[in-house]
């Protein structure tokens, strides 16, 4: 599902003395089936931007076009029900939205709200739970009796159960340990492939950006500062530093190596890329045979 922002601005508490700008003049395009990352400092407007994708926020100026639906400042809340089903939004620490008495009921909650029969909703919920790796033995448990990592998965299943075409992820791995983070990111990559989803990921993890994103949007003060492929975005370390953005973890090591006279034609963004460019510049021990 294609998504386009046309001259979108959003002001918090508009028409009041406390009005604060959230977004200004945002023009963006997310292609159907693409994986997009949104980066930027805390308070740069990342969360404000993604809340426009399913009409939780309505622009104060401009339009957001999601598939066939056009959202303008005049769009009424009632017109957004269908959009909410098509765009699944996983919030930061999504486990805090669990409320039903069983895991299965909680995951079936959204499909029921969007008009599925209880039987259909249960079937979809079971499917979504399997997708995130929660087995049938946990379905009848209270969500609050699960471990933190399991609760997070159940909450994500609760969003996937809407069978959305767009998946918005707002720092979905915050607070997870390295292995949990890795598993979760691979899960999203797999679902994106299988269901041909358009993914929009808000993150501070530059290694994930490099690894998964097709397109990167850098936000600053409510405005997209730069849009491009990960390679384009991370090509200029000085520019990144000037905007308080981190490099992927290889970046710092590469900078140190460059100071010592090593040369890199393109900035290596992953360890294999780094090894490929580094090895030819080093003395190797001859191998017998």
Partner 1 sequence: MEPLIRLEHLTYTYNNSDVPALNDVSLTIAAGQWIAIVGHNGSGKSTLAKTLNGLIEPQQGQVYFNGVLLDEDSVWSIRRKIGVVFQSPDNQFVGATVADDVAFGMENNGVPRAEMVPRVAAALAQVRMSDYATHEPARLSGGQKQRVALAGVLAQQPEVIILDEATSMLDPQGRQDVVSLMTQLQAAGNFTIISITHDIDEAALADQVILMDDGRLIQQGPPAAIFNEGELLRQHGLTVPLSEQVRTGLVAQHVPLPDQYLSEEQLVSKLWTLHLNK
Partner 2 sequence: MDKLILGRYYPGDSFVHRLDPRLKLILNILFIILIFIAQHWPSYLLLGVVVVASVWASGISLSFFLRGLRPMLVLILFTVGLQLFFTSGQHVYWQWGILSVSQEGLINAAYIAVRFLLIIFMSTLLTLTTQPLEIADGLEYLMKPLKVVKFPVNEVALMLSIALRFVPKLMDETTKIMNAQRARGVDFNNGGLIKRAKALLPLLIPLMMSSIDIASDLTTAMISRGYRDGEGRSRYRILQWRPTDTVILAASGVLTVGLIVLERFL
Binding site for partner 1 (CB under 8 A): 41-42, 145, 147-149, 174-180, 204, 244, 246, 249-250, 252-253, 256-257, 260-262, 271-272, 274-275, 278-279, 281-287
Give the shortest CB-78-to-partner 2 separation in angstroms. Answer: 7
User: Largest Cα–Cα distance in the chain?
Assistant: 79
Q: Rounded to an integer, what distance in angstroms lies between the CA atom of residue 278 and that of residue 5?
A: 42
Give the shortest CB-22-to-partner 2 separation in angstroms. Answer: 14
Give residues in contact with partner 2 (CB under 8 A).
51, 54, 56, 77-78, 81, 84-85, 87-89, 91, 94, 96-99, 109-110, 113-114, 144, 158-159, 162
On whether the CB atoms of residues 109 and 100 are closer than 8 A, the answer is: yes
144 binds, among partner 1, partner 2, none (CB under 5 to 8 A by kind): partner 2
Give the per-residue SS3 of 67-136: CCEEECCCCCHHHHHHHHHHEEEECCCHHHHCCCCCHHHHHHHHHHHCCCCHHHHHHHHHHHHHHCCCCH
Give the shortest CB-111-to-partner 1 separation in angstroms. Answer: 30
In sequence order, what are the beta bridge partners of 220? 223
On whether the CB atoms of residues 219 and 240 are closer than 8 A, the answer is: no
Between 58 and 225, name the residue whose CB sits nearer to partner 1. Answer: 225
222 binds, among partner 1, partner 2, none (CB under 5 to 8 A by kind): none
Give the shortest CB-219-to-partner 1 separation in angstroms. Answer: 13
DSSP 8-state secondary structure symbol assigned to residue 243: T
């Amino acid at each position: 599902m294609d998504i386009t922002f046309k001259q979108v601005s959003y002001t918090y508490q508009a028409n009041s003395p406390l009005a604060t700008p959230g977004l200004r003049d945002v023009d963006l395009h997310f292609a159907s089936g693409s994986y997009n990352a949104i980066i930027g400092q805390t308070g740069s407007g990342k969360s404000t931007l993604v809340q426009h994708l399913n009409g939780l926020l309505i622009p104060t100026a401009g339009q957001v076009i999601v598939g066939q639906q056009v959202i303008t400042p005049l769009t009424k809340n009632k017109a957004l029900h269908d959009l909410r089903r098509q765009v699944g939004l996983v919030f930061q620490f999504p486990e805090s939205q669990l409320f039903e008495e069983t895991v299965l009921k909680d995951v079936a909650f959204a499909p029921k709200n969007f008009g599925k029969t209880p039987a259909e909703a249960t079937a979809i919920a079971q499917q979504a739970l399997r997708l995130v790796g929660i087995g049938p033995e946990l379905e009848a448990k209270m969500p609050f009796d699960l471990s933190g990592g399991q609760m997070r998965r159940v909450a994500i299943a609760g969003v996937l159960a809407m069978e959305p075409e767009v998946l918005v992820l707002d720092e979905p791995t915050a607070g997870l340990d390295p292995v949990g983070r890795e598993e979760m990111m691979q899960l999203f990559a797999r679902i994106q492939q299988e269901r041909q989803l358009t993914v929009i990921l808000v993150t501070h993890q530059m290694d994930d950006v490099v690894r998964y994103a097709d397109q990167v949007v850098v936000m600053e003060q409510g405005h997209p500062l730069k849009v491009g492929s990960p390679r384009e975005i991370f090509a200029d370390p000085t520019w990144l530093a000037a905007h308080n953005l981190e490099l992927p973890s290889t970046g710092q090591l590469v900078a140190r190596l460059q100071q010592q006279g090593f040369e890199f034609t393109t900035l290596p963004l992953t360890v294999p890329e780094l090894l490929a460019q580094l090895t030819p510049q080093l003395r190797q021990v001859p191998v017998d045979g």
